[in-house]
Amino acid sequence: MTDRVPSPDFSYAGETLCAERLPLPDVAAEVGTPFYCYSLAGLTRSYRALEAALTGLPATVCYALKANSNQAVIAAFAQLGAGADVVSGGELRRALAAGIPAGRIVFSGVGKTRDEIALALRSGIRQINVESEAELDLVSAAAAGAGVTARVSLRINPDVDARTHDKISTGRKQDKFGIAIGRTLPAYARAADLPNLAPAGLAMHIGSQLLDVAPYRAAFGRLAEQVRVLRAAGHEVKSLDLGGGVGITYRDETPPRFEDYAAVVRETVGGLGCELVFEPGRSLVGNAGILVARVLYVKDGGIRPIAVVDAAMNDLARPAMYDAYHAIVPAIRPQKSQDWVEMDVVGPICESGDTFAVARRLPPLAPGDLVAFGSAGAYGSVMSSAYNSRPPAPEVMVSGERFAVVRARQTADDLIRQESVPDWLGSA
């Protein structure tokens, strides 16, 4: 089987791979390689599809910035009416800078610092999702110091296995996230007692790249149970934040449709009269982006041909980190498919983990050819690094036949400029 990019926004016009209506070789000629490319139509379609599935529910969609925090991407979602889920002061600043209203921002994360909490309170965000009882004390003190009341939700760990990759599973009792479900009532009571805190409800996020709604049904069911327990004890519970996690197709997976996910939401928590917050990341941006690279060399490996491309694990870490599969397709597709061959596709970095694909079927590639990695819109650029002093790749956004560079290419000088040599070094 040969790969295909699982998105209608990256398809062939004749033999040339396009982003929407723009031939990718044209972008490469102007921007150089490697580069990330996002489709505005793709972002918009996924957002609208989620919105449609949630119709009738009192829902706020808070896009999880961690999936892709480029200003242009956030601004596109802001224009569609999205809020934001942020997990650091940096992401909070990015959300505000791109035009997300503070009143639609929720702040999640297991290790918020005093400064980040203070920034959140100063900015007047919608709510802080608190992940421990110690954090409640800190938020209370910070709110008292700032003379405000902090609206908080308690993130509960439901002890449900999301049946996804171990490293992105977050709702089992051994995972570091949230407050153990058995502590919900005492923790909520503590939040209600502490000065300058207004407990608004509960939050949950059980993992990422879920391919089945059953874990959601189990987790949201447990959440609903806790709402009843809290209400029976006289607490007000106005809001439920259900996190993100809906999976996407990388290869041949069939992720839940937003409608199926929404049906589970309706069935489990729909009747509680709570406002609902959603924190989708990957399902909104994952298939609206690709990474484009150029072939540097093709050599005979010990087992099969190896194509060395100019993107590496510093640009797209997911294969090295999670053994993730990303489709790889040629930018120019030969008409005949019978002479396609199996080859490995690797980056230039000096470790064997810098391998994108083993035994992938591709047309015979030659130096200079362009290839695209599919499903790279989420957790691609945001996870890039400058390992091997390779500056992070630029990013472009396409709409129709237009494109804009939305993150400039950096240079080695940019990296060096941030460092300095102490004047006492070498002066002996």
What span, in angstroms and rounded, lies between the C-alpha atoms of 297 and 301? 12
The torsion angles phi and psi of 342, rounded to 5 degrees, stand at -85, 130
Catalytic option among 18, 37, 62, 350 = 350
Question: Within a 13 Å sphere around the CA of 320, how many CA atoms are in the beta-carbon half?
Answer: 20
Instruction: List the interface residues with ligand LLP, window 317-346 (CB under 6 A).
Output: 318, 322
Min dist CB 279 to ligand LLP, Å, is 4
Choose between 89 and 281: whose C-beta lies nearer to ligand LLP. 281
Min dist CB 367 to ligand LLP, Å, is 30
Choose between 316 and 365: whose C-beta lies nearer to ligand LLP. 316
Choose between 248 and 274: whose C-beta lies nearer to ligand LLP. 248
- Residue 141 Cα distances to 114, 184, 197, angstroms: 10, 21, 9
By CB under 6 A, name the one of 94, 112, 126, 205 that touches ligand LLP: 205
Nearest to 106 by CA among 123, 86, 88: 86
Instruction: For residue 64, state whether it binds ligand LLP (rule: CB under 6 A).
Output: yes
Nearest to 77 by CA among 45, 36, 120: 45
Handedness of CA 269, 275, 279, 285 (dihedral sign): positive
Choose between 64 and 117: whose C-beta lies nearer to ligand LLP. 64
274 is catalytic: no
Q: How many residues does the chain have?
A: 428
How many residues bind to ligand LLP according to rule CB under 6 A?
A: 22
Instruction: For residue 243, state whether it binds ligand LLP (rule: CB under 6 A).
Output: yes
Query: Candidates 202-210, 216-224, 302-310, 404-412 — which segment interacts with ligand LLP by CB under 6 A?
Result: 202-210
Instruction: For residue 379, state whether it binds ligand LLP (rule: CB under 6 A).
Output: yes
Instruction: List the interface residues with ligand LLP, window 2-61 (CB under 6 A).
Output: none
Instruction: For residue 282, state whether it binds ligand LLP (rule: CB under 6 A).
Output: yes
- Residue 397 Cα distances to 20, 362, 369, 400, angstroms: 10, 26, 22, 10
Q: Which two tokens stand for residue 102?
A: 């503070």
Does residue 311 contact residue 277 with C-beta atoms inside 8 Å? no
Binding site for ligand LLP (CB under 6 A): 64, 66-67, 85, 108, 168, 170, 205, 208-209, 243-245, 279-283, 318, 322, 378-379
